[in-house]
Amino acid sequence: MSELLRLKNITKSFFGVPVLKGVDLSVRAGSIVGLAGENGAGKSTMMKIISGIYQRDEGQVIFRGEEVSFSNPRQAMDAGVVIIHQELNLLPEMSIAENIYLGREPLNRFGLIDHQKMVEAARELLISLKQDIDPAVQIADLSVAQQQMVEIAKALSFGADVIIMDEPTDALTETETKILFSVVNTLRDEGKGLVFISHRLGEIFHMCDDIAVLRDGEMIHQGAAADLNEDQLIRHMVGRELKDQYPYNPVRPGPVRVRVSELNAAGITDVSFEARAGEVVGFAGLMGAGRTELAKALFGANPVQSGSIEIDGQAQSIRAPSDGVRAGIGFVTEDRKHEGLIQMHGVRANMVLSALPKFSTRFGFIDSLAEKTEIRQFIERFRIKTNSMDTEVSLLSGGNQQKVAIAKALISDPEIVIFDEPTRGVDVGAKREIYSLIQDLKEKGLCILLMSSDIPELLGISDRILVMARGRLTGQLSREEATQENIMRAAIL
C-alpha cells in the first residue's frame, strides 16, 4: 500500500515548553492507524499541525509525496485532509445541511443557495451513516450522539484522502458505534488513510491495522497492531506497568447521608434511594435512561417537580446549583466544555468558581494567598499539566481539563460528590488516578454517586449499583450480585 501521509521530525513548543519532540508518523492508503497516548502526550497538537490549525516549528509534513504546509484547516480540507474533533464544532442555530456545507453551499443558476440540492446531498450522507434524521432540523434539537454523526457526515462531504478521527465514539451509543465502525471499514476499503484516536484500547485493537504511541511528546512506537497486546500498549503509553486498573477497598459504610424519596423531575419519575457515607453507589443504564437528569436534579441544575431530598436527615430545598453547593454537594458534569468549565478562563478561576465563599474574608475580599495555596495543592495532587495556574483551560488537554473539573467540585469540601461520566475522554493512566481518588474520598467518609455508561468501571469500583431505564430505577444490585448480564437485564426493562 502506498504512503499517503508522512510526518518527519515534527517539533512544536508553546511558550518555550516542548510539546512535540522530533515526531515521525506514517499513514498508508487503505489502512487505519490507531494513535494512543496519555492526555497531554501531544496527540491533539500533532493532529492540529497536520490539519493546519497549528504551524510546526521544525520538520516536514509530506502528503501524497510532496511537502505541504497548510496555513489553516480549510486549506487542508481542500487538499484532502480532514479532522473530526473530539469537541463538536457545529452551529446550533443552523440546520444539519447548513452545517455540513457551511461556506461551500451549492448555488443555482441565479447565484443563490440551492437549498433543495443542499438538503438532498446532506440526506445522502446521513443515509450512508444509517441516520434517519431530517437534514432541515436544527443542530440544537439533536442529541450529542446525533451531533457527532453530523460531524462525521461533514468530514465525509469533503471526499478526503486522509481522515483523522479524535475520540469519534465518545458520545455514541453502542448501535451508533457499530455503524461508525462499518463506515470506517468502508472508507479503508476505498483506499482512504485514517488516523483513529481513542482512549478505548479495545477499539484500537478491533479497528486498527497499525498502532502509534505518543508519550511526553515523543513517538515511542509505531507498528502492526497484531504485534502488540493490551499490556504492552499500556506500558508504551505510561512508561510503566499499570496494575489493578480498578482499585477497590471494602469500607464499612457509615450512616445514611442522602435519602431521595419519590423524586420527579425532567427525565426522571418516582426515583427513591439511599446512599451512605463511605460508599460508592454506581448508577447504570443505557443512553437516555435518566442518569444525568437525576444527577442534575440532585445538584439543583434541573428543577425538581415533586418528591424530597434529605441530607444527613435534614430536608433540603435545592433549586439551583448554589443550593447544591451549600448543601455539601459537589458535581462533576459529563459535559465539561459547556457546563463544567469556562474555557477562556484560567485554571485558578475555574477551580474556585463554586468555592468563592470559602476564600472570602469577613470584609468581603478574596484571600489570594489561601486560594493560590490550595489550587497549587490540587494541581500537584492531580498532576495537572499546565504552565501556570492562570493558563487558559482551553489550552489544556481533555484529560487535564477533566482533572480541573474534578478539582472544582472538590475544592468546596463537599460531603457528597456526584460524578457523571468522570472518565469520558480520559486516558488509561488518568482513569486509574480518578478511580484511586474516588476510593480515597470513600475511605474519608464521603458519599459518592457515580453515573457511568462504562459497565466494567461500575463493576470495578462501586459498592452497589442502581440501574435506571426510561427515567425510573429498575434494579438494585449488591457488589456480589452485580454482573454485566444482570445490569443489562435491568437496563432494558
CB–CB of 147/90 below 8 Å? yes
Q: What are the pLDDT digits (tens) for 392-443?
A: 988 887 778 889 999 999 999 999 999 999 987 777 777 888 999 999 999 9
Task: Choose from 147-161, 221-235, 457-471 the range with maximum mean pLDDT.
Answer: 457-471
Least confident of 54-68, 139-153, 478-492: 139-153
Separation CA 253–CA 443 (nearest Å): 9
Percent of the chain residues past pLDDT 90, beyond the cut? 52
- Locate 62 and state its grid cell: 509530506
128 to 48, 78, 122, 207, 276: CA distances (angstroms): 27, 22, 10, 19, 49
Evaluate if residue 250 carries a pLDDT over 80: yes
Asked if 389 and 379 count as a contact pair (C-beta separation under 8 A), the reply is yes
Q: H or E stretch including 442?
A: helix 428-443
Contact between 466 and 474 under an 8 Å Cβ cutoff? The reply is no
Provide the pLDDT for residue 242.
Answer: 56
Per-residue confidence band for 241, with pLDDT thresholds at 50, 70 and 90: low
Structural element, H or E, at residue 420? strand 416-420
Residue labelled with grid coordinates 493512566: 429
- pLDDT higher than 70, residue 31: yes
pLDDT at 240 over 70: no
The string of pLDDT tens digits covering residues 148-161 is 788 888 888 888 89
SS3 state at 361: coil
Which stretches of 167-313 are assigned E, i.e. beta strand?
193-197, 210-215, 218-224, 256-265, 268-276, 279-284, 304-311
Domain 3-238 fold is Rossmann fold (3.40.50)
pLDDT for 63: 93
> Which three cell numbers mark 188?
479503508
- Is the predicted pLDDT of residue 177 greater than 90, yes or no? no
Across 193-212, average pLDDT: 91
- Where is average pLDDT lowest: 15-19, 51-55, 281-285? 15-19
Q: Give the integer Cα–Cα distance in Å for 309 and 401.
A: 31
Cell (9 digits) for 221? 512506537
Q: Do domains 3-238 and 256-491 have the same CATH topology?
A: yes
Question: Do residues 63 and 26 make contact, with C-beta atoms less than 8 angstroms apart?
Answer: no
Distance CA 347, CA 404 (A): 7
pLDDT confidence band for 336 (50 / 70 / 90): confident
Q: Which grid coordinates belong to 447?
A: 458519599
Q: Return mean pLDDT, the chain.
A: 89
Q: What is the pLDDT of residue 244?
A: 66
- Per-residue pLDDT at 484: 85
Q: What is the CA radius of gyration of the chain?
A: 24
Q: Where are the domains of the chain?
A: 3-238, 256-491
Q: Region 209-225: what's the mean pLDDT?
A: 92
CATH topology (fold) of 256-491:
Rossmann fold (3.40.50)
Rounded Cα–Cα distance for residues 74 and 125 (Å): 20
| Residue listed under C-alpha cell 441544575 | 301
